[in-house]
Amino acid sequence: MLAYLNEFRTSKAAGYYLRAIEKVAPEHQVTLMEICGGHTLTLVKYGLKALLPEQIRLISGPGCPVCVTAQEYIDTALELCKLPDVIITSFGDMLRVPGSYSSLSGEKARGADVRVCLSSLDAVEIARRHTDKQVVFLGIGFETTAPTVAYAVKTAHRENLTNFSVLSALKTIPSAMHALMQSGETDIQGFICPGHVSTITGTSMYEQIVKQYAMPCVVCGFEPTDMLCTIAMIMAQLKQGAARVENQYKRSVKLKGNTKALEIMEEVFEEQDSTWRGLGVIPRSGLKIRDSYKLFDAAKRFSLTLPQAKENPACICGAVMRGIKIPSDCALFAKKCTPDSPVGACMVSGEGICGIYYKYSQH
């Protein structure tokens, strides 16, 4: 496996794509946005930005599912922790995301039954073993995660596990891309489109972005030369005055995506308006459980009245995820806000922009 990966990390291949970029790079500034925390990690970890012509500017978008999860969702999960006979199950990154007054790890330390799962099916197994408890899975993520959560719901339905439910904060990427373009806050000339999401959805979901905004969109892999090749492809489109969807990540992404995964998503979920941290409410950008599976919808099973969510006013995570700030612009970055003591959600996850900058570029 390492030998295979090394093929995408050679200086020879990197040099080839850098020369290709230089041939098509314009004299004026061009801003490209990556919509995936994995791409941000590659760009910063391997120092790719420093290799590019200075007129090519790369900014990070809302590509980390933990980061974009709204404060009120975290607060809802915290309130569920306080209910008797409830087990909260979640991916590990979520435990340290700050809510208005605590975090899931903080509530776990106070005695709440909060358990880390590697997959949504782990939560189903916990429900099988603890039929006297209500097991709530915190369903976050994008189109990559949604099919697995849908399968967990179908499994619980098939086995009549009435003690299992999902609190959905699942979101869809194209909606956020539209919101960014319509905000007018950042002048973006091209999108580096997420590879993992596109393995599920295919490439056609970006066609509307291209059509509506004349915006080049290239689906990208996660190795250094994947990123450089993608940038070269976008710059070539701009030089031609073209705008189209292209697929650099052909070894994993197909035109129609994963049809079985899309079918199960469609069966279990339907669109709803959703709140994104830093972007606000984006119409039809979230996925809620359909009425045919409503028994497994934690939002309907538990009635909670919550105070208005309160975020730290000094935290600029929202602006960072909209591409108008970088982590070092924040007065808290690497001082009061660190991976060991995160103030904002972007410092928590391995795909969080602030966490990536802290680990690889602050010095």
Q: Which CATH number fits domain 1-37+46-311: 3.40.50.11740, 3.90.1150.10, 3.40.190.10, 3.30.930.10?
A: 3.40.50.11740
Q: Of 215, 216, 220, which is closest to residue 253 (Cα–Cα)?
A: 220
Q: Where are the alpha helices (DSSP H) in 8-95?
A: 11-24, 37-45, 48-51, 65-68, 71-81
Q: Of 238, 200, 196, 244, which is closest to residue 218 (Cα–Cα)?
A: 244
Q: Of 239, 253, 347, which is closest to residue 23 (Cα–Cα)?
A: 239
Tell me the per-residue pLDDT of 157-213, one tens digit each, with 9 for 90 and over.
Answer: 999 999 999 999 999 999 999 999 999 898 999 999 999 999 999 999 999 999 999
Q: Distance (Å, rounded) from C-alpha 138 to C-alpha 117?
A: 10
Q: How far is CA 289 from CA 25, 72, 158, 297, 351, in A?
A: 46, 19, 16, 6, 26
Q: What is the mean pLDDT of the chain?
A: 94
Could you write out the DSSP letters of every residue in 309-363? P---TT--HHHHHTTS--GGGSTTBTTTBBTTB-SSGGGTSTT-HHHHHHHHT--
Domain with CATH 3.40.50.11740 in the chain: 1-37+46-311
3-class secondary structure, 274: strand
3-class secondary structure, 306: coil
Tell me the per-residue pLDDT of 54-69, one tens digit each, with 9 for 90 and over.
Answer: 999 999 999 999 999 9
